[in-house]
Structure 1
């Protein structure tokens, strides 16, 4: 029963990744279809992320009252509604309507499932599960690439929605598997502390800003990688450019796969340090002034590989470092902070590249990578005396 439930959670993490990379990979063609500037992708992404912030902030209260399985089912249904709505969008304005369920579904499921995994599974399992997020995020740009070759960008969203429906059916069938865990889950959430109290815990605020910085860089890659190749490299087909949206996700998947094998031995903090060091190497490769696209493509894969362990490691540390009673609220706040980065910073970059050029993207990523590691190191040293952190 335990193994079957874990398999279902793997599928849930795939479903988490499926919607995230579609806008970036499809936007070069969607922009033409809607006759809008390239930077307008940032506004749609901002609405999706803003709705995710709302659901993430509400998640601690929802987690206390509703079992994770029902949150998962409702959230996947909302993302399906958003995907199908995007697929039928006849104008740019329609995207904003369906960005609401698109974003609401993402935030609640992300916070609830990450809280569940952080409290029930090891760091190794957490990394493997987030690796499967990468699987979903790699699949959908390739679905979009196939759709662009044989149909249109609309079909890319529609086919992804069909895959989400299949995952939803599996989750519904698996409902009895969650029952044996329900009592334990309720016991762990009954005494959970709310957001108002959690925000005053030492080390929480710098961690939230670091999470903001991490997701600012990650979401910028999600949305603008395909456009980066279109704007800086020549001789590439539309389908090839769209498929490059999966580079960062392939790196994320690979980084988390490796981390799954060594996280229990190295520890979360060491994984974060190594990961950001690897990310910096990838950024340097993308910066190289070469006309060939291959080096930049490898660079984005390396960036994703370095980013891979950072997100799951920060979240997995929440129960241990801040206490189980604070973990639901900390993870909810982390998700909200993360999606604030996802909401505003890709849009900021969209306007920046409109005036300066999209070639500035690696420098933009470098700023957030340095900010991320600097704030995390400060946070964990700052609150050691209060929360008993171990400094490696």
Structure 2
């Protein structure tokens, strides 16, 4: 199990690598395709839509083929898509490659999250998502290296594709290990179907399971808040707080660092504090940070607000994921995990652009008010879920 956990950690680094690369590469890519600036947003939406579709289908795929095979095929799809970006002769080619990139990411993300939630303790889930942060941070660094040294965004994509293909080889070699663990898992599920806990709703569909809809709302609002800060935080600091663009970019990097480091620390905290308390305390901390941004205070308080939001958001996502089998039982956990990931990606895809549209019609000054609303709704949905599951 330890060897398999190391493979999963590597997988999450590789999952994070392509997630942040498009934005870093686009200024260098755009002239090659003579494309408008906002084309990157449409490519991102194609990727996200593919991720949503595969997340929704992941429950059936995982039950039929198993986590090992689904992860292998998904990694191969993302590697091939990244290689396609390297060779892309036209903008249409990029759009076509964005489809398998999204489809591959969604299935493997839901599958690995469910696998870790079933087989490992909560601190591993937090550390797992810290490794995603390592990948998301490293992707732009890799791309910047090739743009600076070789003036080639294509070679940047090639390097990341090679890393992904290396993971495909590792998955291929580890298939017997996945199969062994999954056979053990199937025996455990069969045994659990004879217990009172697992037969509370034996004939219910996943979405009819008690509390699932509030869980989906929690994921939707969480990812909406996380993505909104990442996309619009700098614009708010520059246009409202009169911070220079370079300083604003550094401050937003502190926000992402807060999430990554916070999740690493959360891994140790989960040894003493249960997931639900960490989720609640994280939401309250993030809400406090958003309120700090909203108040007319000196500029350093804005940085403190961003740090509080990042640290507050850090434990929420991995702890909610890890609670899935506990909250809803193992019978439907794979399907519910897929629904949760799809809902999360829906929030990431549509809410930040909605905020941007509203801000264009009014002012980016609404950013902290929007954040307070979204985080408060997440807290309400999460508390409602706990009440329903009592």
TM-score range, shorter chain: 0.7 to 0.9
Question: What RMSD in Å do the two structures reach over aligned CA positions?
Answer: 3.3
Q: Quote the offset at 1:234 in angstroms.
A: 6.4
- Map Cα deviations across residues 126-169 of structure 1 (whole Å, 9 max, x no partner): 11112211111121132234344332544443333233233333
CA 1:359/1:305 → structure 2, altered by over 3 Å: closer, same or farther? Answer: same
- Map Cα deviations across residues 333-357 of structure 1 (whole Å, 9 max, x no partner): 1111112112222332343344445
Q: Quote the offset at 1:281 in angstroms.
A: 3.9
Mapping of residues 218-233 of structure 1, within 5 Å: 218-224=226-232
Alignment counterpart, residue 271 of structure 2, candidates 264, 270, 273:
264
Q: Name which one, 1 or 2, has greater alpha-carbon Rg.
A: 2
Q: 1:103 is matched with which residue?
A: 102
Q: Quote the offset at 1:285 in angstroms.
A: 5.3
Mapping of residues 180-329 of structure 1, within 5 Å: 180-187=180-187, 197-224=205-232, 236=245, 246-284=253-291, 286-287=293-294, 299-329=305-335
Alignment counterpart, residue 333 of structure 1, candidates 328, 335, 339:
339
Q: Quote the offset at 1:105 in angstroms.
A: 0.8
Q: 1:42, 1:112 → 2: CA distance?
A: 27
CA 1:27/1:55 → structure 2, altered by over 3 Å: closer, same or farther? Answer: same
Q: Quote the offset at 1:52 in angstroms.
A: 1.0
Mapping of residues 41-60 of structure 1, within 5 Å: 41-60=40-59
Q: 1:153, 1:381 → 2: CA distance?
A: 50
- Map Cα deviations across residues 82-109 of structure 1 (whole Å, 9 max, x no partner): 3233344455544322221111011100
Q: 1:61, 1:242 → 2: CA distance?
A: 41
Q: Quote the offset at 1:299 in angstroms.
A: 4.6
In structure 2, stretches of 5+ residues that fail to align are none
Q: 1:223, 1:333 → 2: CA distance?
A: 24
In the alignment of these two chains, the number of paired residues is 380
CA 1:225/1:45 → structure 2, altered by over 3 Å: closer, same or farther? Answer: farther
Q: 1:164 is matched with which residue?
A: 164
SS at match of 1:381: helix
Would the aligned equivalents of 1:147 and 1:155 in 2 still touch at CA under 8 Å? Answer: yes
Q: Quote the offset at 1:246 in angstroms.
A: 4.9
CA 1:366/1:145 → structure 2, altered by over 3 Å: closer, same or farther? Answer: farther
- Between 1:214-223 and 1:374-383, the stretch displaced more is 214-223
TM-score by length of structure 1 reads: 0.84
TM-score by length of structure 2 reads: 0.84
Q: 1:43, 1:257 → 2: CA distance?
A: 33
Is 2:175 aligned against 1:175? yes
Q: 2:131 is matched with which residue?
A: 132
- Between 1:86-95 and 1:256-265, the stretch displaced more is 86-95
Q: 2:30, 2:360 → 1: CA distance?
A: 14
Q: 1:109, 1:229 → 2: CA distance?
A: 36
Q: 2:147, 2:365 → 1: CA distance?
A: 25
Q: Quote the offset at 1:286 in angstroms.
A: 4.9
In structure 1, stretches of 5+ residues that fail to align are 385-392
Q: 2:89, 2:136 → 1: CA distance?
A: 25
Q: 2:152, 2:310 → 1: CA distance?
A: 28
Q: 2:178, 2:296 → 1: CA distance?
A: 52
